Amino acid sequence: MKTFFTILFLSLCFQGIAQNDVVADVKFQGQKKNKVGFLKKYVSVRNGDVLDSLQLEQDVVLLKRLAGVSHANYQVFLSEDNRYNVFFNIEENFTLIPNVNVWTTTNEQVAYKVGLYDYNFLGRNIAFGGFYQNNGFDSYGINLRMPNLFTRNFGIALNHQNWTSEEPLYFDEGSANYKYSNTSFEALLLYQINFKHRIQFGANVFSEKYNYLNGLTSDEIPQSLALDKFLLKFAYEYNNLDYEYQYIEGIKNTFYFQYVTSENSFQDNFLIGWSDFMYFKRVGEKGNWANRFRFGVASNSASPFAPFSVDNNLNIRGVGNLIDRGTASMVLNTEYRHTLYEKGWFILQGNTFIDVGTWRNPGGTFSDFANSENLRIYPGIGLRFIHKRIFNATFRIDYGYGITKDSSSGIVFGIGQYF
């Protein structure tokens, strides 16, 4: 009798295993530039796997995070013997993107920047391109990012930049303008731990030069300075965002840490770390609430070379270009985005926002965060012109108006969402 029940139990177990639905083949539809071989390596489902709807949903989210994919879904069809074919349906993005910007500088010169980037080079999720900029000085950069070079989880990034600009340095008595040059070479290793977690780490070798142009000067302030530096960097990303064309929902947090060595009397070796926490929520059918909270801390030396800057294009819209520097920062950007018009590939989106930020002065204390002299509050409105079939094809224009003491106002243009 005991043997009978044992045999019955085992037969039921084997029958349950046999009844598991199995993936016979993974296929893709709609792709043109994206290589099928790459896509099959990129998704996690494999021939012979047990059919798992949760796994397929995660693969769809991963596909929608690719620069070369604007939208994706999946279908399952019975093949034979409890085996199924999985079809991923792909809507592709156009990813060869020119970049043209024209603006006027503080000395009323006309500046421009031109570039060309392919964010899906060779159809394998490789980002490759470069730029040239002239703002009275020549600058250029070349970037190559291959996150899936070795395996579906492991790749590299290589970057070279030769940058020259006019930058203000801030002292207790005032400020001075310098010609700033930075030549750098960077190599990073990229590793995706799993669906939500990834890291990158590497090194950057760079040289900086400062040459005095105008403004405050004294015997204690160098009029020329050359610095050779070495930077170690590490970044950890938690990404649980889901994309539906222009709409985003979920949480993303990225933590950055860097150690910079510098052999000079004006800037010691220093540590810097900051975190970007983002939260997105769908509101009704056409709304999206978007938030970014950035908190960063660096070594607190009383130096004009403080690493965190207050700037239109980085953190607070309308505040002006590079108006101040600090050794710690706390910034909240919150905005409501609403689709005003959508027809075919074109989307017109409006937004209202509030940008709030405060800083620790170089050599100061964390009580500087509460200092009204450092607090900036800028509400504003903006428009987004979006192409649904071109990667990152969002032209944005925002107007920010300061409501704190001695505030300014201004218009900020850019490509891509502000965050």
Q: Tell how many helices (H) and how many strands (E) occur in the chain.
A: 3, 21
Which tokens belong to 194? Answer: 């799993």
> How many of the other CB atoms lie within 10 Å of CB of 306?
26
- What CA–CA distances, in Å, run from 6 to 2, 3, 11, 13, 246? 6, 5, 9, 11, 57
Among 219-223, 304-308, 334-338, 371-375, the range scoring the smallest mean pLDDT is: 219-223
pLDDT for position 9? 44
Contacts of 46 (CB under 8 A, 6+ apart): 23, 26
* Helix, strand, coil abundance in the chain, percent, nearest 5: 10, 60, 30
Write down the domain spans for the chain.
Answer: 2-92, 96-415
Mean local confidence (pLDDT), 398-411: 92
Question: By C-alpha distance, which of 55, 40, 51, 56 is closest to 81?
Answer: 51
pTM of the model: 0.84
- Could you read off the pLDDT of 122-160 as tens digits, one per residue? 999 999 999 999 988 999 999 999 999 999 999 999 999
CATH of domain 96-415: 2.40.160.50
- Could you read off the pLDDT of 88-117 as tens digits, one per residue? 999 999 999 988 877 766 566 778 899 999
Residue pair 314/274 in contact (Cβ under 8 Å)? The answer is no
pLDDT at 204 over 60: yes
The class of domain 2-92 in CATH terms is alpha beta
76: which strand partners? 86
pLDDT for position 218? 72
- Nearest 5°: the CA angle 344, 348, 354 is 150
pLDDT for position 288? 98
- Nearest 5°: the CA angle 286, 289, 290 is 130
> How many of the other CB atoms lie within 10 Å of CB of 132?
13
Mean local confidence (pLDDT), 283-291: 97
Coil, strand or helix at 262: strand
The residue type found at 34 is N
Among 221-230, 343-352, 374-383, the range scoring the smallest mean pLDDT is: 221-230
- Could you read off the pLDDT of 290-342 as tens digits, one per residue? 999 999 999 998 877 788 999 888 899 999 877 888 999 999 999 999 999 99
